[in-house]
Chain A
Amino acid sequence: DGGITQSPKYLFRKEGQNVTLSCEQNLNHDAMYWYRQDPGQGLRLIYYSQIVNDFQKGDIAEGYSVSREKKESFPLTVTSAQKNPTAFYLCASSSPGGLGKNIQYFGAGTRLSVL
């Protein structure tokens, strides 16, 4: 089955701790994205990567870091500098289609809470 796998489903962070959220895709998509979702605020872009070994900051990158060493994988680290990390984190991937079509497909999400 092709898709995007996020793990873990639930994650708890202690004060001052860095935590890493995993995102793996087997869709052979070039681009991958990380979003944060808070109640009533829709999805906000944290980081995105158009190609391996390259990534750019989104709208709310402070306190987060990413790497893109493999096409299939785009892990997100929530650092201790992120003071309000409690949220639902969504990973997406996309690939160009015909007529400018470029659909983003999402994983099932990771819910991060602070202990």
Chain B
Amino acid sequence: QKEVEQDPGPLSVPEGAIVSLNCTYSNSAFQYFMWYRQYSRKGPELLMYTYSSGNKEDGRFTAQVDKSSKYISLFIRDSQPSDSATYLCAMRNAGNMLTFGGGTRLMVKP
């Protein structure tokens, strides 16, 4: 079993929809949680960073962490075609090493 599980998709939604992307994990030592967005043939770029449980909002994006369930989510409101990309969750404990999910491919159709 992988340490971080993420549905690979693809997830196809119409423009304007609310998108929910999720990851589950097994290592209770993870404290820092990140979401990266990766466009095709590009490097990942950091979207959201959260520490411990709770919610964090940034514009149309909301990151949610539930450590008791070992479950993290990224919500995208009013999704746009430009949001079409692969979304990678990543997490780490107190050290520097990140553990990544396999990524979910999102397609937002006009």
Residues of B within 8 A of A16 (CB): none
Partner pick for A109 among B42, B51, B100, CB 8 A cutoff = B42
Would B46 and A103 count as touching, CB distance under 8 A? yes
Would B46 and A41 count as touching, CB distance under 8 A? no
User: In which size bucket is the chain A interface?
Assistant: 20 to 34
Would B45 and A42 count as touching, CB distance under 8 A? no
Would A111 and B41 count as touching, CB distance under 8 A? yes
Stretch from B11-19, B59-67, B72-80, B90-98 that touches the partner: B90-98
**Count of chain B residues with a beta carbon within 8 Å of a chain A beta carbon:** 26
A60 in the interface (beta carbon within 8 A): no
Residues of B within 8 A of A102 (CB): 32, 92, 96
Would A48 and B46 count as touching, CB distance under 8 A? no
- Name the residue on A nearest B32 (C-beta): A100
- Name the residue on B nearest A50 (C-beta): B96
Partner pick for B102 among A31, A40, A101, CB 8 A cutoff = A40
Q: How far apart sit A72 and B43, CA to CA, in the bound complex (Å)?
A: 18
Residues of A within 8 A of B45 (CB): 106
Q: How far apart sit A70 and B25, CA to CA, in the bound complex (Å)?
A: 36
Cβ contacts A to B, 11 pairs, < 8 Å:
A4-B43, A6-B43, A40-B102, A41-B102, A42-B102, A43-B100, A94-B96, A100-B31, A101-B32, A106-B43, A106-B45
Apart from A102-B32, A106-B36: 6 A-B pairs, beta carbons within 8 A: A6-B43, A45-B97, A48-B97, A106-B43, A106-B44, A108-B43
Residues of A within 8 A of B (CB): 4, 6, 31, 40-43, 45, 48, 50, 88, 90, 94, 99-109, 111
